Amino acid sequence: MSSVPERSEIDEEYTWDLESIYATDDDWEEAYENVAERVEELSNYEGQVTDDAETLLSVLELRDEIMREVSTVAAYARMRRDEDTTDQHYQALTARSQSLAADAQSASSFIEPELQELTREEFDEMIDDVSDLETYDHYVDDVLRMKPHTRSAEVEELLADLSEVTGATGEVYNMLSNADMEFPTVEDPDGDAVEITQSNFTNLLKRPDREFRQRVYENYFDEWESMRNTVAAAYKNSVKADVKTAQARNYDTAREAALDGPNVPVSVYDNLVETVNDNLEKLHHHAELKREALEVDDLQMWDLYMPLTGDEGPDLEYDQATEYVVDALEPLGEEYQSRVAEGLESRWVDVYENEGKQSGAYSSGTYDTQPFILMNYQDDVASMYTLAHELGHSMHSQFTKEQQPYVYSSYEIFVAEVASTVNEALLTNHLLETVDNPEFRKAVLNEFLERVRSTLYRQTLFAEFEHEAHRLEEEGEPLTADRLDELFGDLKAEYYEPAAVDDRIAREWMRIPHFYRAFYVYQYSTGISAALAITDRIFEEGETAAKDYLEFLRQGSREYPLELLQTAGVDMSSSEPIERALETYGQRLEEMESLLG
């Protein structure tokens, strides 16, 4: 029998409150039908967008109203599906909402090409005529910036229509990995059967018994091996879609296209990779320290997630974790801290794993809803950090939508991962300052080191992999399963030089869902670098730095990412924040080495 409960067995207080969006599915159907009808209203403005200031304001406001409603309809369906990815009903609702979103994008696709017929001076004159247009000043600036990569209205409509198709490989991968794949059950040292899942795999690799870890590792990756041709085909076609879409928009590379959207220079990506590669000796030190702590001759890949303390760490129930997280946020001020506490009491979080539930964790919600956080809490320190992380995303969204109009209510991933990681850094500092239990302190310090290893180093490794995969596709080299294994395995061997890199770990690329959002993962690395710099400033300068940070959270996408981070006192065009983060990592490695004797 599975050790993972059915959803009906989870207490309501530990589930998110999706009824606050739509009380019933019938209410969702009504909202869906209403907004589906409104989408057609956009076509009335085609060819007239820039006729005069009043018309321009009308079409932009109508587009925003429709997209707000579409996003809420889509979020509800997606989150219901994620409660149980095998549920056919919510799979269907999600598919319908995705089609609706594509229809809305297609119906509004004429707006930006027509806007690009304006000059900056002509738009300024329109603001003089209708002052409410000033709300869209930065948005229009961004649209005009993208003019060289925007096609005709007809082509833009076609690209919008094809968005469902070009993104289909990610949906296929999601269904395969979460709904269809069944991982083996292995026997633990007590003779009990333990079901391997996407959510608990990493946690199982923290178990003290080395032979058990090896069995988990081998069985897990052998299951991926049985799917290798399917996953390779999905990823190859995902990369191909990225490349073809970039070419259709007159970019030289898919990476250039991905980074140009948020207006992040490619040099930032290259600077990250170069700086991390220049500091691999710190990661090698971590790996060697782990080998010594575990008292093994060779650090194997199934040892990689083991804590330096050599055990699983203390059990930490969810309710205790929420107390630690809320207390840790005190440096950000009473408003921030109390609103997090209130959100936790208001069922923002879907806490525990259940059969069929989407793996991992995320923060969701829309402009017109409360935040929602999906977790698969495992009663450990790592899960507490994940909670702090996702609450950072949720609070970023809350502060933004209260300050900004809908057009700026989202924010680029480049800055999103800053808010989440600031919360993590504050949690680390709080626990090291307030918790006396030496074993708990070691667990916290280990968690910090693992977060830097798995975020700054691991995600940069991933960034190198997807950059190289896209480069190979652009040069016409076939992306076979063997080639992808070779590429990933070589990078793993370089990053983890002191460890034994086996054939199974070369398949790890197969288990990374973020690869289906090209050039996404590097932002975890830049995000943790910026976050540690911001946290240092908060502790050094106090209230002034905290206010600057909260102002950054309130800006949404009102400015470009690098400009927004300058509000918080960080310059990500330089290597300084990355070097500073790696220096902190090195210092805490030495501290941990001292504690371990």
CB-based burial label for 511 (10 Å; 0-12, 13-18, 19+): middle
Of 390, 447, 464, 559, catalytic: 390
Determine the length of the chain.
597
- Determine the Cα–Cα distance for residues 367 and 420; give it in Å rounded to an integer: 19
Q: Which domains occur in the chain, in start order?
A: 7-166 (1.20.140.70), 227-305+399-597 (1.10.1370.20)
The closest alpha carbon to 50, from 148, 119, 149, 132, belongs to: 119
For 226, residues 6+ apart whose C-beta sits below 8 A from its C-beta are none
Give pLDDT, residue 515.
94
The closest alpha carbon to 571, from 579, 563, 583, belongs to: 563
List the beta bridge partners of residue 187. Answer: 193
- Determine the Cα–Cα distance for residues 577 and 342; give it in Å rounded to an integer: 33
Q: Could you give the 3-state DSSP secondary structure of residue 437? A: coil
**What per-residue string of b and e applies to 91-125 under the rule 16 or more CB within 10 Å gives b?**
bebbebbbebbbbbbbbbbbbbbbbbebeeeebee
How far apart, in Å, are the Cα atoms of 207 and each of 7, 140, 203, 303, 324? 26, 53, 7, 10, 24
pTM over 0.75: yes
- Per-residue pLDDT of the chain (597 residues), as tens digits, is 357 899 999 999 999 999 999 999 999 999 999 999 999 999 999 999 999 999 999 999 999 999 999 999 999 999 999 999 999 999 999 999 999 999 999 999 999 999 999 999 999 999 999 999 999 999 999 999 999 988 887 888 888 778 778 888 988 898 888 888 999 999 999 999 999 988 789 989 999 999 999 999 999 999 999 999 999 999 999 999 999 999 999 999 999 999 999 999 999 999 999 999 999 999 999 999 999 999 999 999 999 999 998 776 789 999 999 999 999 999 999 999 999 999 999 999 999 999 999 988 999 999 999 999 999 999 989 899 999 999 999 999 999 999 999 999 998 889 988 999 999 999 999 999 999 888 888 889 998 999 899 999 999 999 999 999 999 999 999 999 999 999 999 999 999 999 999 999 999 999 999 999 999 999 999 999 999 999 999 999 999 999 999 999 999 999 999 999 999 999 999 999 999 999 999 999 998 998 887
Catalytic residue status for 353: no
Give pLDDT, residue 1.
37
pLDDT one-digit tens code per residue, 119-154? 999 999 999 999 999 999 999 999 999 999 888 878
- Report the relative pairing of strands 193-195 and 362-364 from DSSP bridges: unpaired
